[in-house]
Amino acid sequence: MIATSVDFRSDNCGAVAPELIEALVTANSGSALGYGGDALTATLQARFTELFEAPVQVFPVPTGTAANALALAAAATPFGAVYCSPEAHVYTSECNATGFFGGGTKLVPIAGEHGKVSAAALEASIAAAGVGLAHKSQPAAVNLVQATDRGAVYALDEVAAVSGVAHAHGLRVHMDGARFANALARLGCTPAQATWRSGVDVLSFGVTKNGGLLADAIVVFTPAAAVDLGFHLRRAGLVWSKMRFASAQILAYVADDLWLRLAGRANAAATELAAQLESLAGVELVAPVDANELFVDLAPAALSALEAEGFLFQRRGPRLARFVCRWDTSASDISALADGVRRQVTSR
Amino acid sequence: MIATSVDFRSDNCGAVAPELIEALVTANSGSALGYGGDALTATLQARFTELFEAPVQVFPVPTGTAANALALAAAATPFGAVYCSPEAHVYTSECNATGFFGGGTKLVPIAGEHGKVSAAALEASIAAAGVGLAHKSQPAAVNLVQATDRGAVYALDEVAAVSGVAHAHGLRVHMDGARFANALARLGCTPAQATWRSGVDVLSFGVTKNGGLLADAIVVFTPAAAVDLGFHLRRAGLVWSKMRFASAQILAYVADDLWLRLAGRANAAATELAAQLESLAGVELVAPVDANELFVDLAPAALSALEAEGFLFQRRGPRLARFVCRWDTSASDISALADGVRRQVTSR
Amino acid sequence: MIATSVDFRSDNCGAVAPELIEALVTANSGSALGYGGDALTATLQARFTELFEAPVQVFPVPTGTAANALALAAAATPFGAVYCSPEAHVYTSECNATGFFGGGTKLVPIAGEHGKVSAAALEASIAAAGVGLAHKSQPAAVNLVQATDRGAVYALDEVAAVSGVAHAHGLRVHMDGARFANALARLGCTPAQATWRSGVDVLSFGVTKNGGLLADAIVVFTPAAAVDLGFHLRRAGLVWSKMRFASAQILAYVADDLWLRLAGRANAAATELAAQLESLAGVELVAPVDANELFVDLAPAALSALEAEGFLFQRRGPRLARFVCRWDTSASDISALADGVRRQVTSR
Amino acid sequence: MIATSVDFRSDNCGAVAPELIEALVTANSGSALGYGGDALTATLQARFTELFEAPVQVFPVPTGTAANALALAAAATPFGAVYCSPEAHVYTSECNATGFFGGGTKLVPIAGEHGKVSAAALEASIAAAGVGLAHKSQPAAVNLVQATDRGAVYALDEVAAVSGVAHAHGLRVHMDGARFANALARLGCTPAQATWRSGVDVLSFGVTKNGGLLADAIVVFTPAAAVDLGFHLRRAGLVWSKMRFASAQILAYVADDLWLRLAGRANAAATELAAQLESLAGVELVAPVDANELFVDLAPAALSALEAEGFLFQRRGPRLARFVCRWDTSASDISALADGVRRQVTSR
């Protein structure tokens, strides 16, 4: 039996949680001041301060790339170096946005497993960087992706270790939380523990990938790491005049733990898929399945056959497939894919 | 009798047309490729090609500032000059976005009435610019705001005259159409006549101000004026991964002439308000009311009294008020404001 | 009698003071560390601290444009406005350098006579700027050109008045001193009085126009106005590896008051030329001749005739000529030009 | 016996060839138009066209970093990737200049021996780059350093192989020729063979390191690879008003093969030093000595002892020393260093 269009390509291929669209309907009454001068945006500030147990600043932005690039530009200097994993989204998939927003800010890939940055590698890189030498890009910030671009989740002490090294040398800590909810659902800790209590200065707070619509956010824990961010956002054309409709989405996203429930479903789907695949001979999971992504080593012919059957997923190498589970990935999607893979590895 | 919060502050203070939110609900089924690789975005391309009677490229973007800055960066050079009205939004209200996106691109204000650029002033400025001299910012593009930031609408031959001068000297023509629908509703011409048939190379297609939600668009008529725009957008963090929900809004906006009906209502409200005000002694309309905005000269004490009564509007100078009408401005809003003004000018 | 190539085009058309080239010969012995880590550059720091009676930082740079653009980028913000005269070199003649180095920093021309910025106009512009509104370019710095691009010299109290307004609103004060020596020679005050004692935070210290070779300098009085300038210079490719040969030039330039003697000669030549011209009917000096430049209103036919006779000068308008005197402008050059003008205005 | 300050730190620590300073004296007569409109700069264009046997454009610039960054910005796009060796000066030592000038242009290090880029690695990197995908930095240019930052010289067929791959995929080829003369002296070929005949589109023509003073140059072979470069240079504050004194230096540098004689001396010194060192046990040359640099593996204690004796050189790692020979490195300098090293490796 052949699957039709079972879609494991990306988080962003999936549906929006209906609660977010309903929130738009609710928000659409009366008139309100533009550019964030409205009541919903004020509520969002208060709600995130409560959620993160600290007086944070929150800035809704259209995309995760905008969030990352502006947060890093604010945290770093134009002559600065931002350390990251070679797998990091900012390094592989943002079309020079960091350099553009930062006026040249350089991304420096450093070692670590499964898309993580290791504290030891960070320490070594800073030591070799030539601090104070004008020839050299000056260590300015570190970028952690939580969950990583290889589907792993940093333990809290791993985040703290990287932050400790960074802060000891005067670097800022930026967390790319495009899949922050997935990480949080896995860790079972509070948002505060996952971020500023572990040393994070600025967070790209992902919404889109986890049932969101057209908004993500920047959350600032350390005001000195994001001075004048409002002006930088405006200069970059990233401030909606009808901001209240972005704030409404994000408020709905965190209401009643919706975000964690959505992420929990996606994680559970990935866990279930991993369980079905890992027992198969010829199938290797090349990274831990801590969140909602699987990175799977399969024979090239098997990958081609799956594609021919209509399964949708990304190829990340000749033998490497990425399967992304979403909040709206169904049990039948999972078993269809698992069955498909099983057919391939047993038929050869 | 005292008004409470009759809101004439800005187009963006008003409601979203419900059709746009309904379009989000409709779009929210199945899965789709991200970053514009979906069917709705393909439909949008086809729909705009039909709408503008030419093979245009259309790029949804989050804000009008992003649309303007990217369009100008694409049309101009980093060492270029962009001519504009001193009243132009890009000059007064975009926090250096043109320079940021353009790598230094300079805005040069030139004369014209009511927020317009005059063809003669453009000709004179180019003649004095020092074309070919490396010291000098090189004439690169002209920015027309249609309707202008003073509520006026360029006649088609005015646009053509400016375009003619621009093209004769190798400049690109950018139209900031934040209120393009209002202009079109006034002109009663086709979108093609208002743009490329009058010499426009690139258009910022406004949606937000006219019942939109969280998306505007760039429309490219002259491919050479916007080479590689997709990459520039991505580098700037302006490409939503769930693009289909932006495309859906814009499709709904232009379906069944919704956009023109909305703009027509706003224009009619402004016309009605103007009619009620212009007969009053002590009230002067300082610009033509061609679209949905009124710029009114009133005694400072009258302005303060109106504010004290709860009327919401912008002050643009000690004696200058801006009143913006929207698609959802009601007849009672208009008569309340007209009555309020009448009370002020007759009471002194 | 016809002149051959009597050259009043620009300061930079003239000779280098031989002392500067001799200093290169002297500096060319032994080996030294690159990028400013040499003894001559250390001496330059000490010498300028003595010269300016304050612990300044001095950075040799290749050009005045580089000095201006980097100083303004350091003093302003990417979303900032720099106020200047519409005649200012940064505004008219630097090909978007301020915006490029500043990441979009906007130049805002404000009123003033003869290329000056007026304190009152600055106050008014800041008041209208929309401080704190994210739409608006935020007032960040003011640029004074001393002597101005119209040949005038600010009195010390004029500088202090502008600085007073600037500092009261948190703006930095940048002085473009491309003709700083000419101004100083006119004012007869100390370098300290002309700069930081009058409120200047950063100075572009001109050398090239006044007998220099290939180096100018940035002088920082207020460290907070130029944080990390060394890194910004390096990022911009503006730090010579053989810096000692730039430092040697500048040391020779200020040794034994050479710079003031050179400027004094140029100023005296201009004063003499003005004296000879201003008595002639049909000749109008349109700006004060405080330094080494004359701006002269003459009939177009007279200008053409002078050019035809071989006189070299710049046309700044149909009836406007600029004549620049230099340290190496001879008495015979002056009388030749004065005679030439006399012939024109008496022959018609 | 102990050395005092025998200096092998860098090319730029050495003397200027007296011919270049004499050329300044000669150039210092009469008046001339600024910003390159002078006769010497015109002569330079003609001379380089002759030297390179092709109608090149040549632009004197203050530094090699400026040359590299502007050449790459011109050759690449803001969303582009520039491939280079991880040892390349642009990657290790230019403080984000490429990203600054390029508006974010990304440097991507790829494999190769001894500071070279390998054609095979370039081919593989381009294949994996995601050409046409807006997420991805688009392959735009390749940077070759000739001689490399590890002291090696590309053979002509190595350059041609890299260029062949680059051009096949639409990339531009930039050669960083900070030590171009050293490479040429080694190769014994013509400047044309070493550059455009081997596929180079743009060259940073180094002068400073090889007896120069305060000027290097950009040489453009492929006009389409450096469109509007004059404006870009001006915008970056890199165009001297007294350009003729830069052109004079460069003309003197290439007159009578001076540049090749200087480079020949430096190369010969390095060859001699290598010959004396390589026979010693405990001393390992870690890269070929093709030009004027030696990279030597020595015990940390030996390095410290050499420093204590007064020898000047750079440490590039715990066991890695760089020794640079210059045109003014004397035979006694060489034997002093060789003796010093011998004492260290035989004393333990």
What is the pTM (predicted TM-score) of this model?
A: 0.96
Work out the mean pLDDT of chain C and round it to a whole number: 96
User: Where residue B346 falls among pLDDT bands split at 50, 70, 90?
Assistant: confident
Query: In chain A, what percentage of residues exceed pLDDT 70?
Result: 98
Residue at C203 is within a domain: yes
CATH number of domain containing D252: 3.40.640.10
Q: Please say whether the beta carbons of B140 and B80 come within 8 A.
A: yes
Calculated CA dihedral for residues C120, C121, C123, C128, nearest 10 degrees? 140
Same domain, A91 and A208: yes
Examine residue A147 and say whether the peptide bond preceding it is cis (omega within 30 degrees of 0): yes
C123 and C265 part of one domain? no
- Residues D188 and D310 placed together within one structural domain of the fold: no
Q: Which of A236, A257, A278 is the last residue of a domain?
A: A257
Query: Longest C-alpha distance within chain B, in Å?
Result: 65
For C136-181, what is each residue's pLDDT tens digit?
999 999 999 999 999 999 999 999 999 999 999 999 999 999 999 9
Section D312-322 average pLDDT: 96
A238 and A61 Cβ atoms separated by less than 8 Å: yes
Same domain for C229 and C100: yes
User: Stretch A152-167: mean pLDDT, rounded?
Assistant: 98
Which residues of chain B from 141 to 180 reach within 8 Å of chain A, CB to CB?
Answer: none
C38 and C125, same domain (yes or no): yes
Chain C residues near residue A237 by CB distance under 8 angstroms: none
Please indicate, yes or no, whether residues B267 and B169 belong to a single structural domain of this protein. no
Is 90 exceeded by the pLDDT of residue A5?
no
Confidence (pLDDT) at A242: 97
> Domain end: D215, D240, D257, which one?
D257
pLDDT at res. B165:
98
**Considering only CA atoms, which of A142, D237, A127 is closest in space to residue C232?**
D237
User: How many angstroms separate the CA of residue C15 from the nearest CA in chain B?
Assistant: 22
Q: Minimal CA–CA distance to C3: which of C347, C344, C345, C346? A: C344
Domain count, chain A: 2
Asked if residue A220 belongs to a domain, the reply is yes
Inter-chain residue contact C232 with A79, CB threshold 8 Å = yes
Listed by number, the residues of chain D in 280-319 with a beta carbon closer than 8 Å to a beta carbon of chain C are 312
Q: What is the CATH number of the domain that holds B322?
A: 3.90.1150.10
**pLDDT exceeds 90 at position B2:** no
Touching chains, B (3+ CB pairs < 8 A): A, C, D
Q: What is the pLDDT of residue C191?
A: 98
- Do C80 and C125 have their domain in common? yes
- List strand residue ranges (DSSP E) for D16-166, in order: 57-61, 80-84, 106-109, 138-145
Nearest to A238 among B10, B12, B62 (CB): B62
Closest partner CB to D95 (pick from A79, A102, A107):
A79
The pLDDT, as a whole number, for residue C173 is 98
Instruction: Answer with the one of C256, C274, C302 that is the final residue of a domain.
Output: C256
In the predicted model, what is the mean pLDDT of residues B336-340?
96
pLDDT, mean of residues B311-317: 95
Identify the sign of the CA torsion B54, B55, B60, B64.
negative
> Do B134 and D234 count as a contact with CB atoms less than 8 A apart?
yes
Residue D2 covered by a domain = no
Amino acid at B334: I
Q: According to the model, what pLDDT value does residue B4 have?
A: 58
Contacts of B345 (CB under 8 A, 6+ apart): B280, B281, B282, B283, B298, B299, B302
Task: Tell me whether residue B167 is exposed, middle or buried, using C-beta atoms within 10 angstroms of its C-beta: 0 to 12, 13 to 18, 19 or more.
Answer: middle
Distance CA D212, CA D214 (A): 7
**Domain for residue B136, yes or no?**
yes
Mean pLDDT of chain D: 96
- The answer to whether residues A251 and A291 belong to one domain is no
Give the confidence band of A116 by pLDDT, cuts at 50, 70, 90. very high
Structure confidence at residue B1 (pLDDT): 45
Residue D18 three-state SS: helix
Helix (H) or strand (E) holding C323: strand C320-324
A249 and A263 part of one domain: no
In Å, what is the CA distance from D205 to each residue of B203, D146, D179, D182, D243?
43, 10, 8, 12, 17
- Which band of pLDDT confidence, cut at 50, 70 and 90, is reported for residue B257? very high
pLDDT at position D3 over 60: no
Render pLDDT for D182-229 as a digit per residue (tens, 0 to 9): 999 999 999 999 999 999 999 999 999 999 999 999 999 999 999 999
Asked if the model's pLDDT at residue D2 lies above 60, the reply is no
Neighbours of chain D (3+ CB pairs under 8 A): A, B, C
Q: Would you mind telling me the total number of residues written for chain B in this entry?
A: 348
* Predicted local distance difference test score (pLDDT) of residue A4: 58
Please tell me the predicted confidence (pLDDT) of residue A346.
84
C92 to chain B nearest CA, in Å?
A: 7
B12 within some domain: no
pLDDT score of D1 more than 50: no
Average pLDDT value for residue range C200-215: 98
Partner-chain residue, chosen from D64, D101, D235, that has the shortest CB–CB distance to C95: D235
* B79 within domain boundaries: yes
**Predicted pLDDT at A57:** 98
C-alpha A334 chain-centroid distance: 23
Asked whether residue D200 falls in the same domain as residue D321, the answer is: no
D-chain residue closest to B133, CA distance: D231
DSSP symbols for B59-74 = EEES-HHHHHHHHHHH
**pLDDT score recorded for residue D348:** 57
Is A105's Cβ below 8 Å from some Cβ in D? yes
Residues A217 and A329 in one domain: no
Domain containing C304: what range? Answer: 258-347
Q: Is the pLDDT of residue C2 over 60?
A: no
Helix (H, G, I), strand (E, B) or coil at C60: strand
The three-state secondary structure class of C116 is coil
Q: What is the pLDDT of residue B348?
A: 57
Look at residue D55 and tell me if it is in a domain.
Answer: yes
Together in a domain, A224 and A292: no
**CB within 8 Å: A77 and C138:** no
Provide mean pLDDT across the span B242-266: 98
pLDDT band at D67 (very low <50, low <70, confident <90, very high): very high
ipTM of the complex model: 0.96
Percent of chain C with pLDDT over 90: 96
Share of chain A above pLDDT 90, in %: 97
How far apart CA B139 and CA B16 sit, in angstroms, is: 39
Contact predicate A67/A218, CB 8 Å: yes
Of B78, B134, B231, the CB nearest to D134: B231
Cβ B202 vs Cβ B172: under 8 Å: yes
* Residue in B35, B137, B235 to test binding to D, most D beta-carbons within 10 Å: B235
C136 to chain B: which residues are within 8 Å by CB?
92-93, 95
In a domain, residue B6? The reply is: no
Residues D239, D257 contacting (CB under 8 angstroms) = no
Band of the pLDDT at C346, cuts 50, 70, 90? confident
> pLDDT value at position D73?
95
